[in-house]
């Protein structure tokens, strides 16, 4: 009887955590999917190409800030970035655009604020470091081996003539833009929801099965905690519109720096995103993106922990 009660208690705790994560994240996923669909239908690639400054310095800053007006998830942005490169937009500016858009955008920042309403500094740190990492990687790409060579593949698995999100539908579904928007929204919502459910499941299981004392030494370590959360961000592959709610469940056991590293790296690099990169860009370029993103996210996590330790934040 005691075993049954214990099992029920575990199930109840798991259900509460799992359902709360899903319920909190769903509105932001739906909003992000709708806004993304509107952009896919009404904003052309040519328009994006025109508004990215050709000057390299201004190009990095402008490309990074475009996330504020183009809230497109990391899945949709990769094919767009490849096509921009093929049209002649500098690799560095395009890389900055690709990495910044999924993190420095109003939907993601709003969801982060909602998740960390008691720690608004998290929102500021995520936006600031996400922006800086995107610009830094763009600069490194421009001044690396790809400043003369276009890293975009000439052939790709995504439909060149299809919509920008790579879902396989034409840009306008028949003659009805409303139907096209609805179709894009549903497809993106379904795609994102799969990863949210998986991430929520892992997070909930972690909360109820791993004793807090056993992870205290790792979770509160200024270096190991960052490594663990970077690995989780890569493996869970949660959309940036919902990842803050997963990060929140770890905030009591892990350092602030590790949470920031999770929130910065996740939208830029995860399993599904890496596969997209490998399908759209040459191996050398993808390897650089992986190395730079992992390295900078780790450094940022350690810096935030250092600042937190000495009461700076």
Domain ranges of the chain: 2-309
Task: Provide the b/e sequence for 172-199 (b: ≥16 CB within 10 Å).
Answer: ebeeeeeebbebbbebbbebbbebbbeb
pLDDT attached to residue 166: 44
pLDDT attached to residue 82: 83
Other Cβ atoms within 10 Å of 8 Cβ, number: 10
d(CA 282, CA 142) in angstroms, rounded, equals: 15
Predicted structure pTM score: 0.81
C-beta of residue 289 within 8 angstroms of C-beta of residue 265: no
d(CA 233, CA 237) in angstroms, rounded, equals: 6
In terms of residues, how long is the chain? 313
Pick the closest to residue 255 from 292, 284, 289, 228 (CA basis).
Answer: 228
pLDDT attached to residue 157: 46
pLDDT attached to residue 170: 44
pLDDT attached to residue 229: 95
Per the structure block, which two tokens stand in for 103?
Answer: 């993190």
Please give the chain's pLDDT, 313 residues, in tens.
555 555 677 788 888 888 888 888 888 778 777 876 776 777 676 777 677 766 777 888 888 888 777 766 666 678 778 878 877 788 898 899 999 988 988 889 999 999 999 999 999 999 999 999 999 999 999 886 555 678 887 755 444 444 444 444 444 445 577 888 888 788 878 876 777 788 788 878 877 877 766 677 788 899 999 999 999 999 888 888 889 999 998 998 899 999 999 999 999 998 888 888 988 899 999 999 999 999 999 999 999 999 998 888 7
């Amino acid at each position: 009887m005691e075993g049954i009660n214990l099992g029920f208690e575990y199930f109840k705790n798991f259900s509460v955590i799992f359902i709360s994560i899903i319920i909190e994240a769903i509105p932001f996923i739906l909003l992000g999917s709708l806004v993304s669909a509107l952009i896919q239908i009404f904003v052309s690639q040519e328009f994006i190409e025109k508004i990215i400054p050709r000057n390299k310095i201004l190009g990095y800053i402008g490309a990074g800030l475009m996330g504020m007006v183009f809230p497109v998830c990391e899945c949709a942005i990769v094919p767009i970035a490849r096509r921009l490169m093929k049209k002649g937009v500098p690799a560095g500016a395009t890389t900055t655009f690709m990495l910044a858009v999924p993190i420095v955008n109003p939907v993601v920042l709003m969801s982060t604020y909602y998740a960390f309403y008691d720690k608004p500094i998290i929102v500021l740190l995520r936006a600031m470091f996400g922006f800086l990492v995107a610009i830094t990687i763009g600069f490194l790409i421009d001044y690396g081996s790809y400043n003369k060579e276009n890293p975009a593949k000439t052939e790709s698995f995504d439909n060149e003539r299809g919509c920008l999100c790579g879902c396989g539908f034409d840009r306008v579904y028949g003659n009805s833009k409303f139907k096209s928007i609805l179709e894009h929204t549903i497809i993106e919502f379904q795609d994102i929801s799969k990863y949210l459910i998986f991430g929520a499941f892992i997070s909930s299981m972690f909360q109820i099965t791993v004793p807090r004392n056993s992870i205290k030494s790792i979770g509160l370590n200024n270096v190991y905690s960052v490594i663990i959360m970077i690995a989780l961000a890569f493996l869970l592959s949660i959309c940036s519109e919902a990842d803050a709610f997963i990060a929140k469940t770890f905030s009591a056991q892990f350092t602030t720096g590790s949470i920031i590293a999770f929130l910065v790296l996740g939208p830029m690099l995860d399993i599904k995103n890496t596969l997209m990169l490998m399908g759209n860009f040459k191996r050398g370029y993808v390897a650089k993106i992986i190395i730079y993103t992992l390295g900078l996210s780790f450094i940022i996590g350690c810096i935030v922990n250092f600042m937190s330790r000495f009461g700076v934040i």
